[in-house]
Every structure is written in C-alpha cells, then in structure tokens.
C-alpha cells in the first residue's frame, strides 16, 4: 500500500509529456516590421517527398493589398511569400521570397534570432544587393 501511494505521488509530480516539437522552429504566424502583413509558416511538400518551409499571407492591411495589386498580385491573402526554405546552417534557412508589390521572386535567407524574432533577407544579383527585415512572431 505504501509503495502504491509513493508511486502515485511520484506520478502526480511528474510533468505532462511535452507536445511534439514543430517540424521547423519557424512554424507560426509572423508579422512584418510595419505589421501590415501577417504570414503563417509551415511545412510544404517538395518534389522529393520531403518537406520544406513555406509561408502564406493570412492577413494584410488595405495598403499592402493595394500595393500587391499594383505589382500584379490581385489576391494577396493566401499568396505564398516564403517558398521552399531548407536548413542552411545553425538557425538559418535558404529559399525564395516573393515580393508581391514587385511581382518578383528573390533568393532569401531566414535567420532565427530568438524564439519570437526572425531576420528575413532577400537578395538580387547573386546576393550582391540585399535587404533585411526583422519579423516578430504574433
């Protein structure tokens, strides 16, 4: 009886099993610096049967939607901005970023700064000209 009570007491003090970690630490909803666009990231299948990280617009203010339409993207909500990112070093992923107001896709890296911050970098001309934005988890 004492052994059963001790086992019960020990089990009650044990933490609950942790929920499974996301496939990518970048999974979630991220907001650009102006908070004009929110992007939901998650796994997307690739042609080899594996998965990559992608991100789709889930919210955009009126100005961002108008800029996207002017750039040739009629429907911004649902558009994949982050495409085919794969791990490329510690806390870093490489892929493509679609810029709707330009209607173009560029080489890009995502760097996990901390649990709630990523640096999104897009480059043209083989990485010669680059721009970085800091996005926050929301």
Boundaries of domain holding 78 = 2-137
Mean residue pLDDT of the chain comes to 84
Euclidean distance between the first and the last CA atom of the chain, given in angstroms as a whole number:
50
Domains in the chain: how many in total?
Answer: 1
106-125 confidence digits (pLDDT tens)? 999 999 999 999 999 999 87
Tokens of 45: 């299948």
Average pLDDT over residues 56-70: 98
Tokens of 64: 């961002």
Give the phi and the psi of residue 22 in degrees, each rounded to 5.
-65, 155
CA distance 136 to 123: 20
* CATH number of the CATH domain containing 90: 2.40.128.520
CA distance 107 to 130: 9
The pLDDT of residue 80 is above 70: yes
Quickly state the pLDDT bin for 133 (edges 50, 70, 90). Answer: very high
pTM for the predicted model, two decimal places: 0.79
């Amino acid at each position: 009886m004492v052994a059963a009570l001790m086992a019960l007491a020990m089990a009650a003090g044990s933490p609950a099993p942790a929920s499974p970690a996301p496939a990518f630490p970048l999974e979630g909803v991220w907001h650009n610096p102006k908070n004009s666009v929110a992007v939901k990231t998650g796994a997307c299948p690739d042609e080899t049967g594996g998965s990559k990280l992608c991100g789709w617009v889930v919210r955009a203010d009126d100005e961002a939607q108008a800029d996207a339409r002017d750039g040739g993207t009629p429907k911004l909500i649902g558009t994949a901005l982050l495409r085919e990112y794969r791990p490329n070093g510690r806390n870093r992923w490489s892929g493509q970023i679609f810029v709707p107001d330009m209607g173009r896709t560029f080489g890009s890296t995502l760097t996990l700064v901390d649990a709630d911050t990523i640096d999104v970098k897009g480059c043209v001309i083989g990485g010669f000209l680059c721009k970085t934005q800091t996005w926050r988890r929301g």
